Amino acid sequence: MAMDFVLTAKQLLLGRGRGARLYGVGMGKSGTHSIASMFLKPVRAGHEPEPLPLIEKILSREAGTLSERELHDWLGARDRRLALDVDSSNLNAHILDFLVSEFVDARFVLTIRDCYSWCDSMINHSIRFAETTPEPWRRLRNLRFRSDAFCHAPEEQLLKEAGLYTLDGYLSHWSAHNEGVIQKVPPQRLFIVRTDEIQKRALEIADFAGLPRRTISAERAHGFRNPEKRPVLKQIDTAFIEARVEKYCRPLMSRFFPEIRSLPDAPA
């Protein structure tokens, strides 16, 4: 890493402008909250800043009612106004083409969680906030988990009864999100970290971003735990789950989580 990219805490405090440009591009429930939380002042860090207007733009783009030029102009103005050193959000994956091409100095950190515990956490999060999830988030999830393309199989009727998506929807999105980031971001600009290793690799992330290590508090690197978890996946036929994992997730799982071969191997 070029030394002139690294700023001292003093330079940051003196207002040398943007201290860095680091984008967290992991999925929700993969540690994006932790990436934002572990940085201390004077680093300007945000987790999912102003999500609803961004979601509306993402959905308008997908619907074809917003041009690329209009989106880029809006994203540029938003970025200048927020002026964050660290912007960590699962929504960034939807605008990754813009971020990679527009900001050649930007670095990206992909937090990746094994597909089993991610799916279980996503399901639990949806159950926990079922009554309070804003409508734009619901529409975005319909897009991500392809509610128009997949129907619930008999083995997963409990998901349907709970108003949840199919395993095909969840697991195909897990693969598409993570693989999409890896393909779109040049390797030298991308730091990939397993969710369970964020804390122990926090200083490496600071170095990668070009931020002083003193601005990191590794103890804050698990900022948003789900306080109540239901073992939903364990109520679904194991063979049914494993068939979908093999279909969508096995290449990435073998690469990043070689020790997790089936649901019982995954962290609780």
Task: Say what the pLDDT of residue 223 is.
Answer: 54
- What order of strands is seen across the sheet that includes strand 45-47? 45-47, 86-88, 22-24, 107-112, 190-194
The encoded tokens of residue 198 equal 């964020």
* Positions of the chain with pLDDT under 70: 1-17, 222-228
Residue 114 and residue 267 in contact, taking contact as beta carbons nearer than 8 Å: yes
Residue 28 and residue 233 in contact, taking contact as beta carbons nearer than 8 Å: no
- The pLDDT tens digits of the residues spanning 32-55 come to 999 999 999 999 999 999 999 999
Task: Say what the pLDDT of residue 5 is.
Answer: 36
3-state secondary structure of 223: coil
> The domain spanning residue 48 has which CATH number?
3.40.50
Give the C-alpha separation, 213 to 194, whole Å: 20
pTM: 0.92
Residues contacting residue 167 through CB under 8 Å, at least 6 positions apart: 119, 156, 159, 236, 240, 241, 244
Residue 15 and residue 31 in contact, taking contact as beta carbons nearer than 8 Å: no
Q: Provide the domain count of the chain.
A: 1
Task: Say what the pLDDT of residue 4 is.
Answer: 35
Residue 39 and residue 211 in contact, taking contact as beta carbons nearer than 8 Å: yes
3-state helix, strand, coil split of the chain in percent (to 5) is 55, 10, 35
Q: Is the peptide bond before 51 cis (omega within 30 degrees of 0)?
A: no
Specify which residues 151 forms β-bridges with: none
The encoded tokens of residue 19 equal 């201290």
Q: Which residue segment(s) compose the domain that 97 sits in?
A: 3-265
3-state secondary structure of 178: helix
Task: Say what the pLDDT of residue 94 is.
Answer: 98
Of 118, 54, 95, 93, nearest to 182 by C-alpha is: 93
